[in-house]
Amino acid sequence: MKYLIVGTGGVGGSIAGFLALAAKNVTCIARGAHLSAMQERGLHLISGLQGDHYLPIPACLEAEYHDKADVIFVCVKAYSLDSVMPLIQKAAHPDTLVIPILNGFGYGDKIEQATGLTTVLDGCVYIVGFVSGAGEITQMGKAFRLVFGARTAAIATKYASLMQQIQADLQTSGIKTQISDNIRRDTFIKWSFISAMACTGAYYNVPMEALQHEGEERRTFAGLSDESVAIGKKSGFDIPPNQTEKNLKVIDSLAPESTASMQKDLERGAQSELNELLFEMVALGQKMQIDMPVYQMVMKKYIPIK
């Protein structure tokens, strides 16, 4: 199968690197110095799971891609999603499965509405991955789990075999992969987790180590998780009663020195996903009349990004 990775950052670059190591057919879309370095010497993957590799993966600009992909992983930041809609349309054939892997919720619906494609799935990933230099991706620690699934029963049935093939390819590549039977719930759970993690790290400006021990930072993370989980439950999602405990176990499995990409972006004054991971969660909670004192505390530190 032909895989296209749209957005070769920490997540997309890690997926591409792992697929390439397993000799899968993968092409990357990137820009600027990152793209130039990849074209000159290959993608440099520094991985806690796979080691250090230079991988000669085909890479190009969006406008330079003229093939049709069987699977498109959309791994851009949420604020860049609109800009890649034309590429997704151009690169898809009638049975291409599009799998968005973004920090947030509801992106499968947004892509389908914008492109008219009916084979858009949804997905999420648990990983610490980031661009550590031009053409260089670091996948930190031992956690790399990807969850994807169809948003309708009809698509799940029609493309069951193809989804199983994708799962097999990813697992062969060293990525723990689950086909979800309730992807809306599972992407909400990921949104709940990454929102709490990113907001806590950014609020205190600390790495994961501070959240892995009893103290104010860990209590804040748990409070944010409790509040976002309450939103999910009121939205009708079948979220386990011990979800915050599960989220804490994920935190404890992360590399102590790691930080969320939103925190990195805020530290360097770059565009970030503060809207998607903080303000959209608070807005949804307010709409549902859920008390959110911990989110309100964090929100006071930031001015909404318009």
pLDDT given at position 205: 96
- Residue closest to 70 by CA, chosen among 196, 163, 136, 155: 163
Instruction: Write the pLDDT tens digit of every residue in 249-277.
Output: 999 998 899 999 999 999 999 999 999 99
Please check the confidence at residue 305 and state whether its pLDDT lies above 80: no
pLDDT given at position 215: 97
Q: State the amino acid at position 163 in one-letter form.
A: M
Domain range 185-299, its CATH number among 3.40.640.10, 1.10.1040.10, 3.10.180.10, 1.20.120.530: 1.10.1040.10
Other residues' Cβ atoms within 10 Å of the Cβ of residue 95: 11
Residue 303: pLDDT band (50, 70, 90) is confident
Other residues' Cβ atoms within 10 Å of the Cβ of residue 270: 10
Instruction: Write the pLDDT tens digit of every residue in 93-129.
Output: 999 999 999 999 999 999 999 999 999 999 999 999 9
Instruction: Write the pLDDT tens digit of every residue in 220-229.
Output: 999 999 999 9
Please check the confidence at residue 306 and state whether its pLDDT lies above 90: no
Residues 6+ positions from 262 with CB-CB distance below 8 Å: 103, 198, 202, 272, 273, 274, 277
Please give the CATH number for the structural domain made up of 2-181.
Answer: 3.40.50.720
Q: State mean pLDDT over 10-15.
A: 97
Contact 259, 132 (CB under 8 A): no
Residues of the chain with CATH 3.40.50.720: 2-181
Residues of the chain with CATH 1.10.1040.10: 185-299
Please check the confidence at residue 7 and state whether its pLDDT lies above 60: yes
CA-CA distances (angstroms) from residue 153 to 56, 160, 185, 195, 290?
38, 10, 15, 28, 31
Instruction: Write the pLDDT tens digit of every residue in 143-190.
Output: 899 999 999 999 999 999 999 999 999 999 999 999 999 999 999 999
Structure tokens of 199? 């907001």
- Arithmetic mean of pLDDT over the chain: 96
DSSP per residue, 243-295: HHHHHHHHHHHS-TT---HHHHHHHTT---SHIIIIIHHHHHHHHTT---HHH
Please check the confidence at residue 71 and state whether its pLDDT lies above 70: yes
